[in-house]
Every structure is written in C-alpha cells, then in structure tokens.
Amino acid sequence: MTITIYHDPNCATSRDVLALIRNSGEEPETIEYLKAPPSRETLVGLLRRMDIPVRDLLRQEVPSYEEFGLDDAKWADDALIDLMLRHPVLMDRPIVVSPLGVRLCRPSETVLNILPAPQEGAFRKENGAPVIDDQGRRVDRTALD
C-alpha cells in the first residue's frame, strides 16, 4: 500500500500528519514539495481528487499571498495554479494521497479518515494535544474543550 505526503518539515501540522501515518504502521513516500514542486498535471490532479476549489489550496499566511494580491477575485484558477507552481510556498499543506482518497490534512486529524490501517498506539500532537488514546481510539476533542 502506498501513501504519499506532500510535506514541509518546518510545519508542525505536516510533521504531526507524517507521525500519524507512521503511527498506522505505514512509511509514506515523502515529497518535500518546497524543494520538488509537483508538475502542473499532478497539482491539477490532486485538486480534482480532493474536490476542492483552487483557492482552498492557497496558503494565505505567507507574505507572497499579500504581495501578489491573491485575495482579489481577478485571479483565475489557471493563474493561481501557475503561481503555486512557481512559488510552492503558496500551497497549503500537507496533502496526503492514500488508497482511500486525497486530502489537504488541516487539521492533522483529517488524515485519519484516509488511512487504511488503524493507529497502532497512543498519539499526541507536538503541542501535546491528544489525538489517539491508549486503546487506539480517536480522542473526542469536544470533550476536552
């Protein structure tokens, strides 16, 4: 079974998603997309498989988002894709491809919906928030808040 993660090792969410994949017993193919951006065909395919609008993949918290004025509706999807390919920092992450689907995994727990194997043990995010309990069950975050 092959799982692929488009990963940024400097992003805590991306690191948590990678750790959750590994906690299910899988070692994914890891693509550091900032160093090796996807091709246009791959990016368009990922967007289609995630069934999200192009704008939903834009990372708004980076300076280039504001510099390019990407909140302006004048930007067509093709132009936004071209910008993401030239400036991959504009792509939100992590994106995970599994046999069960493709997802932009924000929040990190989203990956649990597309992992074929269950979690093998308890898991906490880097910030200490519990995700999986000692019995391998997903922690109900609403009960903690």
Catalytic residues: 11
Residues whose CB falls within 8 Å of the CB of residue 86, separated by 6 or more in sequence, listed in order: none
Whole-number Cα distances in Å, 91 to 22, 39, 125: 23, 13, 22
Strands (DSSP E) found in 8-73 = 29-32
Say if strands 130-132 and 123-124 run parallel, antiparallel, or are unpaired: antiparallel
- Residue type for position 119: Q
Residues 61 and 70 sit within 8 Å (Cβ to Cβ): no
